[in-house]
Structure 1
């Protein structure tokens, strides 16, 4: 644990030399401004405005996580051809865990600002108090938790195949998650990780507004399965990374 904390602190220091944190929160602030500006001139009802905003965050998550993972990995590549992450810890996968925790913390922070900033704007501009603070906080946990698998996937893609592959897959996933929000995703979305966020946050919003107990109970089991799949994927990633020697396929 002490070694992991040391690695985490080291990664925090490295962030000061990059634009990763700035990019996270610039995207968030621009997104809040655009949505509040659009909703101010649109005729959407209040519930639709809130749900649509949360869905857009979920849809954008795979692409944004692919960009952040690739930037984080690229920093290690240019600072010494992965020498630090391959030699800084024993066992080797602790450096990967540190990167993963950093990315999750940044994603959580950006999502927190995005959702609560939108709540503040919606309350101020439209005097809208349809949902409680607990609804928004649980929505944040759902959005981040549903996309833990995405960080695992894109860390692997960035390390093994490079920046282009990770971002390319992220673009496809974002388009696919939007498509699977429709009826085309019924019955198959639970097998496609990029759709987890948008589906889970949609059913949570539906439950919070109409208290449909049956739908939330069905999704609880699916949520447990997705959680086990994420843990299993992370274990596989750590095993792979322990044997990885710093080479990408493009080399």
Structure 2
């Protein structure tokens, strides 16, 4: 598997895939730095920054990024040899599929963690905004977990129907993610995969309200609401991830290319 991963990573050399992975965190930080530098710093600024950052990242970057990364990685194989070289590889089909999926997961995870790291360290060093690191990184991890089923789904779609379909679904996913962040999604988000990253990441923001000196945690935490909501999101996310991975591997074992080429 390590040889497959090295090979997959080398394929991204001189492509837009690496730019899509490492550039968005810096662009988002620059825009947030400009925006918050023009505002008065208050006790609520950190909470506002947390909410704005993870809403943008989970509602825009993750849905569209999942479609783009998966579509581009698969499209490379189509352009290189119309999938022939990829399919007749010496490695088992299962390992080839899982290698692609693992690379997509690593790229998406690194991008999310890098964006979070740049945000918290940048504001901690440059601005006067006090930053609590733990809730931010906990939210990043929740966002990654919530995005895993989407990444597995988009890889399957990319192989089956191509890059256009993957990107198109990602665009529709942005709309669903935005809707899941509103009151409309309060009761249905556990059943909508595009709602998992934004809702799971947002739950950890409650811990920003728990400041030293408080006699008891905020009611959202002490009542068990946050724990219950996490379970409601994590359980279906894990089940769908397993279904997507197992189903994708089984399907890929028999796949012989998306279409006939003249």
Deviation string 1:102-155 (CA, Å, 9 cap, x unpaired) is 111111111111111010122123322341x33232222111111001111111
TM-score of the two chains, using structure 1 as the length reference:
0.91
Q: Secondary structure at the match of 1:218?
A: helix
The equivalent residue for 1:169 is 169
Separation in structure 1 between the aligned mates of residue 198 and residue 139 of structure 2, nearest angstrom: 11
The equivalent residue for 1:241 is 252
Deviation string 1:43-83 (CA, Å, 9 cap, x unpaired) is 57221112211121111201111011111011000011112
Matching of residues 1-251 of structure 1 within 5 Å: 4-43=1-40, 45-60=45-60, 61-131=62-132, 133-210=133-210, 211=218, 212-213=220-221, 214-222=224-232, 223-248=234-259
Separation in structure 2 between the aligned mates of residue 249 and residue 207 of structure 1, nearest angstrom: 54
Separation in structure 2 between the aligned mates of residue 123 and residue 90 of structure 1, nearest angstrom: 47
Q: Do the aligned partners of 1:203 and 1:215 also contact (CA within 8 Å) in 2?
A: no
Distance 1:156 1:248, change over 3 A: farther
Provide structure 1 residue ranges, at least 5 long, that are not aligned to the other structure: none
Q: Do the aligned partners of 2:139 and 2:202 also contact (CA within 8 Å) in 1?
A: no
Separation in structure 2 between the aligned mates of residue 162 and residue 86 of structure 1, nearest angstrom: 16
**Aligned length in residues:** 247
Separation in structure 2 between the aligned mates of residue 129 and residue 89 of structure 1, nearest angstrom: 53
Separation in structure 2 between the aligned mates of residue 234 and residue 154 of structure 1, nearest angstrom: 11
Q: Secondary structure at the match of 1:147?
A: helix
Deviation string 1:18-63 (CA, Å, 9 cap, x unpaired) is 2211222122211110111111113572211122111211112011
State the 1:6 CA deviation: 1.5
| Of 119-128 and 191-200, the range deviating more from structure 2 | 119-128
Provide structure 2 residue ranges, at least 5 long, that are not aligned to the other structure: 211-217
**Greater Rg by CA:** 2
TM-score of the two chains, using structure 2 as the length reference:
0.87
Q: Secondary structure at the match of 2:81?
A: coil
Q: Secondary structure at the match of 1:16?
A: coil
State the 1:217 CA deviation: 1.8
